[in-house]
Amino acid sequence: MVGRNGTLGVDIGDDAIRIVEVRRDGAVTLAAYLPLEGASAREVLAGFFRETRVGAARLAMSLPGSDCAVKTASLPPAAPAELARVVRFEAETQFPLPLPEMAWHYALTPGPDGRPHAVIAGARGTAVEERLLLARESGRACALLLPAPLAAAGAVRHPDGPHLLVMAGAKWSDLCLYDGDRLLNCRSVLAGAPATDGWAARIAREARPWLTGAAGPAQALLAGAEAGAEALTDALGIPVHRATPWQAVRDPHGFQQELPDPPGAFTTAIGLALAARGAAGLNLLPARVTRTRAERARLAWALAALLLIAVVLATFAYQGHQRLAASRAALRRVEAEALAAQRAVPPSPGGGLLAAQQVTEALAAPASRPLELLRALSATLPEPVTLSDFSYDRGKGVLTLKGHADTSATVADAVRALGAVSGVTRAMLDATTADSDGKGYTFQLTCLLAVAEDPTVTRAPGRVAEGRR
């Protein structure tokens, strides 16, 4: 297993998945090229994680530039709260979809005139959820989700002054206009592969509005492909240089020479791995996911602090017989608090799965009351799902839920969500019936709970259930 002190960048392109792991010291410890060749990205990614057992602490993924909207705006000087309202107004004005249907974020940097410069990125909420589902079904949790062109730009060394960054792909190419490190504009072009005829002309036609005037770019950078630089120079009328992301990392294992894909094609993957080392301001993860991870981080720090206190108390316990008894008592209290904090750390699934897992744990408690459990379960399931009745056979570990959902897809999502909860061995859909008015579905679900998790089941003498010692 690769060490857990690295960050992993996963770039899912039109033709292949490219993965790079970067250690804290900037060295590349893994680089993989996984062609799709008709297989789904989910199958290829799950197989990679299963075979390599990569253990990077943070994973960053990309959304294609064609699925994202990236806008910029020069804002008036104002207090942070007022700036947030202005940015929201800009997003509502410039984005093609209503904000409630999008996952979006922004980053502010000082402009040359002293006014705040905003870069606002967003994507359709369903596209973001699909990417998170892909990561979960591959056995990983995504900590960072960035638009591919912005991730790629983070791995490229930008020259001073206005310049054009072209990130070439198998079908889509991303164009970004920069002034130094400051993004001025960004768009995607369905131009085909760089080696095909007409690719450079299509790129030049899309970039032509940026090339006019004295403030136009004096040069361009081409990343993601080896071919096309000369043709693009002729089409744009400005020098085009090949950009390599390997300048931003160390490559002691020589991956750059061994990879079958051109080194420039790993620009986005390297940019993602580098971005995961810090707190990127354009993370498109939904607020509920980032909030859950922040809570987990705080609990982990609290646990580490409690364990440190336990070590200190254990050291002082050796100092004198009279202090030993008091120190042991204090140590037991600290250990109990540490165990409670450890059990309070939420599991890897986020959002509704976390709440559902807490409810199933409450079902296993001998003192649980059905009315309180029903209210807790109704409050924590996704909004489109409501519960009308449930029954629980504690001796058999069988939980039956009845309720209503807006669509059959929502019912299927609820079955998958409950099946992924710790303590549920199987979730089954017993029945679903469409409403007569066509406004929803009535359903019945059955969840089989692990018998070892039920404290009322009699166990044979001398055997203790795992996790109950």
Write out pLDDT tens, residues 23-55: 988 999 999 999 998 889 999 999 998 888 776
Q: Which of 345, 348, 336 is nearest to 300 (CA)?
A: 345
Q: Are strands 102-110 and 116-124 parallel, antiparallel or unpaired?
A: antiparallel
Q: What are phi and psi of 434, to 5 degrees?
A: -75, 140
The domain ranges of the chain are 1-157+243-285, 160-241, 289-344, 352-453
Architecture of domain 352-453: 2-Layer Sandwich (3.30)
pLDDT at 282: 87
Residue 182: band (very low, low, confident or very high) from pLDDT cuts 50, 70, 90: very high
Residue 365: band (very low, low, confident or very high) from pLDDT cuts 50, 70, 90: low
- CATH 1.10.357.10 applies to domain 160-241: no
pLDDT at 347 over 70: no
Least confident of 81-95, 215-229, 307-321: 307-321
Residue where the block lists tokens 């770019």:
217
pLDDT at 56 over 80: no
Residue 308: band (very low, low, confident or very high) from pLDDT cuts 50, 70, 90: confident
Strand-pair partners of 458:
none
Same fold, 1-157+243-285 and 160-241: yes
Percent of all residues in the chain with a pLDDT value above 90, rounded to a whole number: 40
Average pLDDT of the residues in 57-61: 86
pLDDT at 285: 87
The enclosing H or E element of 61 equals: strand 58-63
Q: What is the pLDDT of residues 217-254, one digit of tens each?
A: 999 999 988 888 899 999 999 999 999 899 899 999 99
pLDDT at 95 over 90: yes
pLDDT at 459 over 50: no
pLDDT at 61: 94
Contacts of 308 (CB under 8 A, 6+ apart): none
pLDDT at 356 over 60: no
Rounded Cα gap, residues 37 and 58, in angstroms:
28
Q: Which tokens in the block code for residue 453?
A: 């998790």
Q: Which tokens in the block code for residue 69?
A: 């909207």
pLDDT at 260: 83
Mean pLDDT rounded to a whole number for the chain: 80
Q: How many residues does the chain have?
A: 469
Average pLDDT of the residues in 395-408: 83
pLDDT at 59 over 80: yes
Write the DSSP symbol of residue 239.
-
pLDDT at 74 over 60: yes
pLDDT at 181 over 50: yes
Average pLDDT of the residues in 177-184: 93
pLDDT at 426: 83
Check residues 13 and 355 and name the one with the higher pLDDT.
13
Average pLDDT of the residues in 178-204: 92
Rounded Cα gap, residues 31 and 453, in angstroms:
41
Architecture of domain 1-157+243-285: 2-Layer Sandwich (3.30)
Residue 288: band (very low, low, confident or very high) from pLDDT cuts 50, 70, 90: low
pLDDT at 311: 66
Highest mean pLDDT among 144-148, 215-219, 296-300, 449-453: 144-148
Q: Is 213 helix (H, G, I), strand (E, B) or coil?
A: coil
Average pLDDT of the residues in 413-425: 77
